[in-house]
Structure 1
Amino acid sequence: MKFSEQLWNRITPIYDAVLELPFIKELTDGSLPEEKFLFYMKQDTLYLADYSKALSLAGIRADSNDHTRAFLNFATNAISVERKLHGQFYEQFDSGVDIQKSPTCFSYTNFLLSTANMSDNAVSIAALLPCFWIYREAGLHIYENAVPDNPYQEWIDTYAGEDFNESVEKAIAITDEIAGEEPESRRREMMHAFVRSSQLEWMFWDSAYQMEEWAKQPKEAIPA
């Protein structure tokens, strides 16, 4: 069994839980309120800014030139998707990014960046994979079940498209290649990072539906 197959088997319950989230169900049937989708888009913009940095760091730290090129391309593509896809929805909703990271977005991006900076690069690459893989699988599920004239069809088409699929397959293949060169102890670290990011993926979708905010604190407790 490939290492990537072991990874997916481990997080199958998490992925199944993703598909049961109200955000996913309502996005699929087109009933997701615009304010929840827009909140998600803004958080995703903030997320992708840091995700692209973590991808770039993985590329810079890679031992293989092919891996370096792949991850730098991934980083560039993440920025391109944000500017094109998100920009269109912001124009449609006459909005922009006017909020800070939610607690979940903050936790997720800090986990990825700290892993990219402080852990072995193999572990960082495993931590980056769920965003690719779960999005691809969820995107295909939504695409196959979406109602006609879904108001979020452009988003659905992007993550179910062939260009994104090729990137996902490349990221999976690199993870398998790297895992094959690592000792069992490092593969356990990679597994742990992959599972943690998968849990944060679930939390990200859920927090968008909840339009999660930071707990309000007394003014005297907030640093100047």
Structure 2
Amino acid sequence: MTFMEETLAQVLPIWDRCVEAPFVQEVKKGTLPMEKFKHYMIQDSIYLKYYARVYGKAIYHSSTLKDIQMFYSALCFVTDTESAVRLSYLNRFGLTDSDIEDIEPFPENKNYIDFMMDIADNGDICEMLMAVLPCMLSYNYIFRKIAAEPESKGSIYRDFIEDYANERYVASCRLWSDFADEKCAALSDDRKKKLAAIFEKASLLELDFWNMSYKE
């Protein structure tokens, strides 16, 4: 097994708990109250600003053109492609990204942001990669699972589901998994264990985010 195959196998039980989270299940069925979805979208928008900053840090610390291009492509994906559906929902709520600038993150969101920014400030390229990849890869895993279930076909959140389940997103996740394998393949076992632990921690913070979104 490759490094990423082993790492993903380790976190799949956490991602399955994300799938079963009440928020995700109600998105699938289309029964989630729109007010809860609004809280999620606001908190996700706050999170994504810092998520993008980690990619910016990775670009700055990259030493090869290929790495710079990879991180730049992900930054563009986050700020452009991935933002399309998010911004459309914010517009429905009468909000823009500027309106969200002064809103405080919920505690679970702040914990996740602080974790990522600490890695960005003190970690290397591989550690930054392990801190941000669980967001992208787990969303693909979660939403491909629920998109395949008949209940999701008529969900009022179908556009949101498909945004993370479509083939373009799948291809991006595959590309980034391969990139992570390339960066980490030659590392020592101790380094790999540390990186896998960062990936697992970020996955647990993803679970906290889904549960946070349902509470509010």
Identify unmatched segments of 5+ residues in structure 1.
212-224
**Bigger shift: 141-150 or 183-192?**
141-150
State the alpha-carbon separation in 1 of the partners of residues 161 and 138 from structure 2.
14
In the alignment, which residue of structure 2 is the partner of 1:142?
Answer: 146
Deviation at 1:170, TM superposition (A): 1.5
In the alignment, which residue of structure 2 is the partner of 1:112?
Answer: 116
In the alignment, which residue of structure 1 is the partner of 2:19?
Answer: 19
Identify unmatched segments of 5+ residues in structure 2.
none
Deviation at 1:84, TM superposition (A): 2.0
Which residue among 203, 207, 210 is the counterpart of 1:202? 207
Across the aligned residues of Structure 1 and Structure 2, the Cα RMSD in angstroms comes to 1.5
> Which amino acid counterpart does residue 62 of structure 2 have in structure 1?
A
Q: Secondary structure in 1 aligned to 2:187?
A: coil
- Flag the structure with higher helix content: 2
State the alpha-carbon separation in 2 of the partners of residues 133 and 83 from structure 1.
17
> Which amino acid counterpart does residue 160 of structure 2 have in structure 1?
W
**Bigger shift: 187-196 or 143-152?**
143-152
Quick one: structure 1 residues 122 and 26, their matched pair in 2 at CA, closer, same or farther if it must change by over 3 Å? same
In the alignment, which residue of structure 2 is the partner of 1:190?
Answer: 195
Deviation by residue 1:144-193 (Cα, 9 ceiling, x = unmatched): 12433321111111101122222211111111111112122211110110
Quick one: structure 1 residues 132 and 82, their matched pair in 2 at CA, closer, same or farther if it must change by over 3 Å? closer
Query: What is the TM-score with the length of structure 1 in the denominator?
Result: 0.89
State the alpha-carbon separation in 1 of the partners of residues 126 and 153 from structure 2.
42
State the alpha-carbon separation in 2 of the partners of residues 164 and 109 from structure 1.
23
State the alpha-carbon separation in 2 of the partners of residues 129 and 54 from structure 1.
11
Which residue among 154, 164, 168 is the counterpart of 2:173? 168
Query: What is the TM-score with the length of structure 2 in the denominator?
Result: 0.92
State the alpha-carbon separation in 2 of the partners of residues 192 and 18 from structure 1.
18
Q: How many residues align?
A: 211
**Identity among equivalent pairs (%):** 26
Q: Secondary structure in 1 aligned to 2:186?
A: coil
